[in-house]
Amino acid sequence: MTVLAKPYLTDVEASVEQLVYVREDEYTVARMSSEGLAGFVASGRALAGVQPGETLRLAGEWEEHPRHGSRLVVRRCERVVPSTVRAITLYLGSGLIRGIGPRLAHAIVSHFGERTLTVIDTEPERLTEVVNIGAARQAQIVQAWAEQKKVAALMVVLQGFGISPLLATKIYQVYGNDSRDVLTRDPYRLIGQVRGIAFHTADRIALRSGVPEHSPQRIKAAVLDRLETAAARDGHCFLPLPALLAAAASLVEQEEELIRRAVDALLAERRVVVETAPAGPGQVVYAKEQHGREVALAAHLARLLRARSTLPLRAFEEHQGLDEDQRAAVNLALTSTVSVLTGGPGCGKSHTVRVIAATVRAMGGTVTLTAPTGKAAKRLSELTRLPAVTVHRLLAQQPEREEGTLFQQSPAEADLIVVDEASMLDLQLATRLTAAIPAGSHLLLVGDSDQLPSIGPGSVLADLLRVEEVPRIRLTRVFRQAQDSGIVRAAHRIRAGELPALPGRGGFWFEELDDPDQVADRVVHLATEAIPRKQDVSRDQVQVLCPMRKGATGTAELGRRLQERLNPAREGAAEHWSGPSVFRVGDRVMPIRNNYDKGVFNGETATVTAVNPQDRLVEIRTDDGESVAYTFDELDELTHSYAISVHRSQGSEYPFVVAPIVAEAGGVMLRRRLLYTLVTRAKSWVVLVGQREALELAVHRLGYRRNTGLALRLALSLES
């Protein structure tokens, strides 16, 4: 970039016409308009959080971008009240004030002119003078106006703490009029209560508010944060006490003795649980919620394992076409109240489940088929020709009741409950499910133990396989129809720690490129042009999976590029920016949080059907045909699915998969289970693009074992 011979601009007022680009580090590019200047482009991190329609006072200098031309690089940005008729119309019609769209904004400003905002602020009853504004609409506008003013004031407070103004709305949603008081008096309350605020953000606010670095409040927050981070990032249910002390001490730069006192205080407050492991790391520390779930899950599983079967077992016809292990699996599921069926791709798990379900039904029993994700449930239903639902929907259909009453007086009553893709069951979901199953029903967990564990904390399937008393069988024979699949062959070689035959054939292909930027270019081309054209399929049949989120080949950057290629901005079409993400009609999206009120769950896929600035809503239609609305303030519950992580692809199967394999940032995510899971997501073809050494690293690097106590608890429960 070169600096143009134009003066440094100060105190220039301009309105935000459109956001062009927002990066994850909040670097923002926007098109601006001003009465003193022709339309221009402004950029910089100082613009973080600005929205179309806002009027800003800017200071900065002009630079010449080699690709995008002249732009104002903003060094200082201040929100101001719009003062001109055009700026006021743009502000009111942008969707910032719920209940006012472009047409109504024009009508209001045409009636009140430059006094419009003063009227709304001091004489709101006069809004009914405008056609189409009745008492109800007037009240809605007044309330939205008051909320917007409070959020704007909160943004100023956050900027004073050096915190992103994007968090102001989220804080206000949780605390309302108490928001400022919470910020200044007890900022550590924000952790876990406000999405997007972790320890570092709350700590910055606290320290700038005068909280001492050695404050017990601060140290306790650091301990809880390290436990929560270990659960959310690494799936651990506990941390060994020495590791927790070291991690928290490093976080707050204090002595470990202070950390130990904080652990003792949290123990006295019953916010953590400290146990001594019979073997291994000695004393370990759980967050109270994780400990409670693990204890409960062990108890529920022990209850189910000990129960007398209520399955109406009687002689059944031996099914032809099953090998010895499959027949054993059928017998195991019919005779054991809890059993586990595992095996790799092509080993006949689905066919075995179909036979088990058919046999139970032939004996007069009932079957419930379920899986952690919608796509996995749909695939299970197609393979068995029986209805299947997600575990979340199954539980959501049942009100919270006493233990063991899920199916009582319910059309979902079942003698056999089959959970496919059981490696995806985390501690919380498994606890809720097993708590609801009545004693005597049979629970069959089906999965591939070599795949990635759940996104949430815990390692339920792996833990059950470590308990000898849990009946299980592993299918190992690859059937002839699967032996010709390059995907199946590659998957089994990866599972064995061997590099697949390269470049591959019959559904598996590796294309070697070294430079990450070139890899990204190739992935985008393959997904949007080459594969759809060569295979004569639509673009939505190709899914991009990424081992990492950041970098040129991560989900964020590749997702942005794919969106711009597949669903670019259109003149006159509504769109809405939420942080670094822009939502447009036609976007493919995925909920990343369970929302029982909306009836949507983590991992489902959907399409954006409407973006409504006036009502501040984005509407989606799930692949199950359900229409769901999200407010603009809830959009962090959605992520675009143009490029998704391998973890989020679990339980799904795609006709064609393209994935970058690059050792960026040391390739910390490149591990055998991740690569194995990635390859087995493809049905017809998987194309890997990247570095051979990165592929070799992934094949040979084993994953870490999660800190869980479930296996030991269950074993002890069954002994007692």
Give burial (CB, 10 Å; 0-12/13-18/19+) of 28. buried
pLDDT of 265 higher than 70: yes
Q: What is the pLDDT of residues 497-541, one digit of tens each?
A: 999 999 988 899 999 999 999 999 999 999 999 999 999 999 999
Pairing of strands 588-591, 606-612: antiparallel
Is residue 351 exposed (0-12), middle (13-18) or buried (19+ Cβ within 10 Å)?
middle
- CATH code at position 682: 3.40.50.300
The predicted-structure confidence for 119-133, as pLDDT tens digits, reads as follows: 999 999 999 999 889
**Does 348 carry a binding-site annotation?**
yes
pLDDT for 318 equals 66
pLDDT tens digits for 309-329?
A: 988 877 666 666 788 999 999
Q: Does 416 share its domain with 373?
A: yes
pLDDT band at residue 666 using 50, 70 and 90 as cut-offs: low
Residue 237 labelled as part of a binding site: no
Question: Which CATH number belongs to the domain containing residue 282 in this structure?
Answer: 1.10.10.2220
Residue closest to 555 by CA, chosen among 530, 586, 580, 535? 580
Which pLDDT does position 617 carry in this prediction?
A: 94
Closest CA to 471 of 247, 194, 291, 718: 718
pLDDT of residue 319: 66
- Please identify which residue in the block is written with the tokens 């798990």: 349
The pairing of strands 638-640 and 588-591 is antiparallel
Phi and psi (nearest 5°) for 565? -80, -40
CATH of the domain at 143: 2.40.50
Q: Is 492 domain-assigned?
A: yes
In a domain, 421, yes or no: yes
411 pLDDT band, cuts 50/70/90, is: very low
How many domains are contained in the chain?
5
Q: Check residues 260 and 400 and name the one with the higher pLDDT.
A: 260
- 435, 441 contact by CB (below 8 A): no
Domain-embedded: residue 157 = no
Task: Identify the CA nearest to 567 among candidates 543, 591, 540, 585.
Answer: 585
Q: Which tokens in the block code for residue 574?
A: 């509504």
Separation CA 27–CA 50 (nearest Å): 11
Give domain status of residue 178, yes or no.
Answer: yes
Is 346 marked as a binding-site residue?
yes
Among 430, 459, 478, where does a domain finish?
478
In terms of Cβ atoms closer than 10 Å to its own Cβ (0-12, 13-18, 19+), residue 480 is exposed
Q: Are residues 182 and 244 in the same domain?
A: no
Q: Where are the alpha helices (DSSP H) in 586-700?
A: 646-649, 672-679, 692-700
Q: Do residues 330 and 471 both lie within one domain?
A: yes
Cα–Cα separations (whole angstroms), residue 368 to 26, 424, 599: 47, 18, 20
Q: How confident is the model at residue 405 (pLDDT cuts 50, 70, 90)?
A: very low
> Which whole number is the average pLDDT over 335-340?
96
The encoded tokens of residue 339 equal 């059993």
> What pLDDT score was predicted for residue 408?
44
**What does the CA dihedral 425, 378, 380, 371 come to, rounded to 10 degrees?**
10
Q: Identify the band that residue 83 occupies on the pLDDT scale cut at 50, 70 and 90.
A: confident
Is 401 within the bounds of a domain? no
Q: Confirm whether 427 is domain-assigned.
A: yes
Among 62-66, 405-409, 635-639, the minimum mean pLDDT is found in 405-409
Task: Give dist(CA 272, CA 245) in Å, integer.
Answer: 14
Contact 697, 667 (CB under 8 A): yes
Phi then psi for residue 536, to 5 deg, are: 55, 50
Based on the fold, state whether residues 518 and 640 are members of the same structural domain.
yes
Computed over every residue of the chain, the mean pLDDT equals: 90
DSSP state of 634: G
In a domain, 685, yes or no: yes
Mean pLDDT within 49-68: 89
Quote the pLDDT of residue 375: 83
State the pLDDT at residue 1. 46
Asked which of 298-307, 370-379, 409-418 is least confident by mean pLDDT, the reply is 409-418
Both 261 and 328 in one domain: the answer is: no
378 is in an annotated binding site: no
Single-letter amino acid, residue 410: S
The verdict on residue 708 lying in a domain is: no
Please check whether residues 514 and 597 belong to one and the same domain.
yes
Give the range among 3-7, 56-60, 684-688, 703-707 with minimum mean pLDDT.
3-7
Most confident region among 24-38, 589-603, 616-630 by mean pLDDT: 616-630
Residue 95: predicted pLDDT:
83
Determine the Cα–Cα distance for residues 236 and 599; give it in Å rounded to an integer: 28
Distance (Å, whole) CA 367 – CA 369: 6
- Mean pLDDT score, 230-250: 96
Mean of pLDDT values over 138-150: 90
528: which DSSP letter?
I
Residue 317: what pLDDT?
65
409 compared with 76, residue with greater pLDDT:
76
Shared-domain flag, residues 95 and 73: yes
Residues 642 and 680 occupy one common structural domain = yes
Residues 6+ apart with CB under 8 A from 217: 186, 188, 206, 211
Provide the pLDDT confidence category of residue 5 given band limits of 50, 70 and 90.
very low
User: Looking at the predicted structure, is the pLDDT value of residue 482 above 70?
Assistant: no
Let me know whether 103 and 37 are in one domain: yes
| CB-CB neighbours of 280 under 10 Å | 10
Q: For residue 657, what is the enclosing H or E element?
A: strand 654-661
What confidence tier does 404 reach under pLDDT thresholds 50, 70, 90? very low
User: In the β-sheet with 682-690, what is the strand arrangement from edge to edge?
Assistant: 508-512, 682-690, 654-661, 542-546, 643-645
State the CB neighbour count (10 A cutoff) for residue 177.
Answer: 8
Claim to verify: residue 387 and residue 447 sit in the same structural domain: yes
pLDDT by residue (tens digit) across 204-213?
A: 999 998 999 9
Residues 473 and 493 in one domain: no
For residues 453 and 701, is the Cβ–Cβ distance under 8 A?
A: no
pTM, full prediction: 0.89
The pLDDT value given to residue 3: 45
Please say which residue of 260, 290, 320 terminates a domain: 290
- Dihedral in degrees, nearest 10, Cα atoms 397, 431, 547, 164: 80
What is the model's pLDDT at position 320? 65
Range of the domain at 88: 10-151
- 613: which 2 tokens? 């600035």
Predicted confidence band of residue 409 (pLDDT cuts 50, 70, 90): very low
pLDDT of 32 above 80: yes
Let me know whether 513 and 596 are in one domain.
yes
| 153-162, 421-430, 645-654: range with lowest mean pLDDT | 153-162
